[in-house]
């Protein structure tokens, strides 16, 4: 039997490179959201300006993926995003009986 969470997990994915001037405002905005459960994934392209140090201060909401910007790593990230998207579609289908892009049946 499949256990379905009461509220779905919302994932915010932020991609950055040398974003020390703006990353704190972005993560403050994510942290201020009232929806829970919430996770934030920061994909850093190898910043050299202190971005990674700022991101460490948000460990309560972030799983950091720091990558060097190579074509192989970009491909791996694309596969991860595709898998998570398909899993969320499958969960929606299982919970509501319809795909996310389908309209709900009309009320009687």
Copy the structure tokens of residue 88.
Answer: 């969320």
CA 62 vs. chain centroid, Å, equals 9
Model confidence pTM above 0.75: no
The residues spanned by each domain of the chain are 10-96
Tens-digit pLDDT profile for residues 37-78? 888 888 888 888 999 889 888 988 887 666 666 777 778 778
Q: Is residue 105 helix, strand or coil?
A: coil
Q: Average pLDDT of 21-44?
A: 90
Out of 3.90.550.10, 3.90.580.10, 3.90.1150.10, 3.20.20.80, which CATH number does the structure's domain 10-96 have?
Answer: 3.90.550.10
Return all residues near 67 (Cβ < 8 A) that are at least 6 apart. Answer: 43, 44, 45, 46, 73, 77
> Could you give the count of Cα atoms lying within 13 Å of 108 in the half-sphere of its Cβ?
0
């Amino acid at each position: 039997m499949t256990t379905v969470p009461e509220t779905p997990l919302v994932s915010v994915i932020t991609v950055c490179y040398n974003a020390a001037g703006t990353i704190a405002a972005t993560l403050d905005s994510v942290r201020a959201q009232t929806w829970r459960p919430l996770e934030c994934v920061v994909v850093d392209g190898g910043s050299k300006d202190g971005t990674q140090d700022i991101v460490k201060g948000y460990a309560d909401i972030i799983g950091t993926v720091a990558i060097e910007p190579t074509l192989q790593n970009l491909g791996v990230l694309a596969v991860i995003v595709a898998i998570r998207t398909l899993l969320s579609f499958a969960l929606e289908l299982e919970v509501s009986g319809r795909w996310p892009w389908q309209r709900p049946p009309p009320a009687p």
